[in-house]
């Protein structure tokens, strides 16, 4: 009976997907599911929802227990799912957006790169290191399945500073090709593809249908699109650099210096870029939560269909030794030779009872590796700032961020960082 610990279990919808998936896996149905969250109300809501699911789809075979003590929730765990958000919408996400806006720096999502991604990383890494300390004591052999952003930054910090077996998981790899072909109205069969790079900026390196290269057709249809749509940034990146990128247009608009430009304000309309998109989504989710909460916690007929989230498939593969392939975020141990070894890459990984086994990819096309490196610089410097507690590395990360450095002067970047550090207060450790 494996033990699955879910940190951030108050994320009720996501807990339903990952743990509901586990209840639909024969290898995981009898698991001890340990729930932990610092928000006791949300934790109780998730427990209620999961117990209803356990009854309806799993004959009450799983044992579901909420814990107030994190270390006890982790004790003897085989798998730890991490889905926390440190600082929440208020005050931290608001701070991440509003202070840069005063300097004229606009963002869309701010959870992975850019000034928002840097500060989200800085406030989350210390919490993750606390998790690692507890895990090293009470479940040292457990696998940490990290879903929290900024994915590359957090996975790099855990891999460099702890002994915990960690893999970073994201939705963008498995969603990339289906969404692309649907957007372009292309129905194809016997698809094969190859994706590799870094999280949120991995590349569709190859795509075939019945052995025929689909890229010429994809590019032809994409070039003919005229109506404004939600995928314009990614298609422009493909047009200019030759390959399609895995994560959404609103994300990639802020990972590069080309799209959100104070000098070219018409680009926002031209590329249909939703500024302040993440705060807007937060407000919408908060407004809708009461209705959604009742749907999840008061519906005695609640059910679930297995999702495409990797989590349950990873655990199932490790329990059964039946191999499964994922797109995982792992240290670059020569997997992509023209990216730094001291970075996290997103590559195909084989999973079985031996664990997560990353696959060799080879060198990326030079222009793609170059784009990845501009993001990797920020990942590495943010982790260095978190581990050394030296403020100068925060400055370096921000000064080398592609979007930030293309819009602001060095003095403004450093002053903005100082304002963000002050506004975050106790959400950040002390930097010297």
Catalytic residue (choose from 171, 379, 403, 424)? 171
Using CB atoms within 10 Å of the CB of residue 321, give its burial: 0 to 12 exposed, 13 to 18 middle, 19+ buried.
exposed
State how far the Cα of 82 lies from the Cα of 93, in Å rounded to an integer: 19
Is-catalytic flag, 171? Answer: yes
State how far the Cα of 194 lies from the Cα of 184, in Å rounded to an integer: 19
Pairing of the two strands 3-7 and 79-82: parallel
**How crowded is residue 65: how many other Cβ atoms within 10 Å of its Cβ?**
12
Q: What is the largest CA-CA distance in the chain?
A: 62
3-state secondary structure 220-257: HHHHHCCCCCCCHHHHHHHHHHCCEECCCHHHHCCCCC
State how far the Cα of 238 lies from the Cα of 180, in Å rounded to an integer: 12
β-partners of residue 347 are 328
CB 420 within 8 Å of CB 103? no
DSSP 50: H
DSSP 307: -
**Which H helix or E strand runs over 79?**
strand 79-82
State how far the Cα of 136 lies from the Cα of 302, in Å rounded to an integer: 37
DSSP 89: I
- Residue 62, CB-side half-sphere exposure with 13 Å CA sphere: 32
Name 64's Cβ contacts closer than 8 Å, sequence gap at least 6.
Answer: 33, 35, 47, 50, 51, 54
DSSP 205: E
Task: Give me the phi and psi of 204, to 5 degrees please.
Answer: -80, 95
**Which H helix or E strand runs over 7?**
strand 3-7
State how far the Cα of 343 lies from the Cα of 251, in Å rounded to an integer: 20
For residue 368 the two structure tokens come to 């793609």
Place of tokens 């699955």: 4
N residues, the chain? 432
- Active site amino acids: 171
């Amino acid at each position: 009976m494996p033990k699955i610990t879910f940190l951030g279990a108050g994320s009720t919808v996501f807990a339903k997907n990952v743990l509901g998936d586990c209840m639909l896996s024969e290898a995981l149905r009898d698991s001890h599911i340990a729930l932990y969250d610092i928000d006791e109300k949300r934790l109780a809501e998730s427990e209620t929802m999961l117990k209803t699911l356990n009854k309806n789809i799993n004959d009450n075979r799983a044992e579901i227990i909420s814990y107030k003590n994190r270390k006890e929730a982790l004790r003897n765990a085989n798998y730890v799912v991490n889905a926390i958000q440190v600082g929440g919408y208020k005050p931290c996400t608001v701070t991440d957006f509003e202070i840069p806006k005063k300097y004229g720096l606009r963002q869309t999502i701010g959870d992975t790169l850019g000034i928002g991604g840097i500060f989200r990383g800085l406030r989350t890494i210390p919490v993750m290191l606390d998790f690692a300390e507890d895990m090293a004591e009470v479940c040292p052999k457990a696998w940490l399945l990290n879903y929290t952003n900024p994915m590359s930054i957090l996975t790099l910090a855990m891999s460099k500073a702890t002994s915990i077996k960690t893999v970073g998981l994201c939705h963008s790899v498995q969603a990339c090709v289906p969404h692309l072909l649907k957007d372009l109205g292309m129905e194809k069969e016997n698809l094969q593809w190859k994706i590799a790079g870094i999280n949120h900026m991995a590349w569709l390196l190859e795509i075939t249908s019945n052995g025929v290269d689909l890229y010429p057709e994809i590019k032809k249809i994409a070039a003919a699109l005229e109506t404004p749509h939600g995928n314009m940034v990614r298609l422009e990146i493909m047009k200019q650099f030759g390959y399609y990128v895995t994560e959404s247009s609103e994300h990639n608009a802020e990972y590069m210096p080309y799209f959100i430009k104070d000098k070219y304000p018409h680009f926002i309309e031209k590329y249909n870029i939703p500024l302040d998109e993440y705060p807007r989504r937060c407000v919408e989710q908060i407004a809708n939560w009461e209705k959604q909460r009742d749907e999840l916690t008061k519906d005695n007929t609640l059910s679930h269909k297995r999702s495409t989230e990797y989590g349950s498939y990873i655990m199932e593969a490790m329990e059964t030794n039946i191999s499964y392939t994922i797109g995982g975020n792992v240290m670059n141990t020569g997997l992509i030779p023209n990216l730094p070894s001291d970075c996290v890459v997103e590559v195909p990984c084989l999973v079985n009872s031996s664990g997560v086994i990353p696959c060799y990819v080879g060198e990326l096309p030079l222009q793609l590796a170059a784009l990845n490196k501009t993001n990797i610089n920020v990942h590495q410097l943010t982790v260095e700032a978190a581990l050394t507690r030296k403020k100068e590395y925060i400055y370096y990360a921000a000064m080398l961020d592609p979007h930030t450095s293309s819009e602001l002067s060095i003095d403004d970047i450093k002053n903005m960082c100082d304002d963000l550090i002050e506004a975050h207060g106790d959400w950040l450790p002390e930097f010297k």
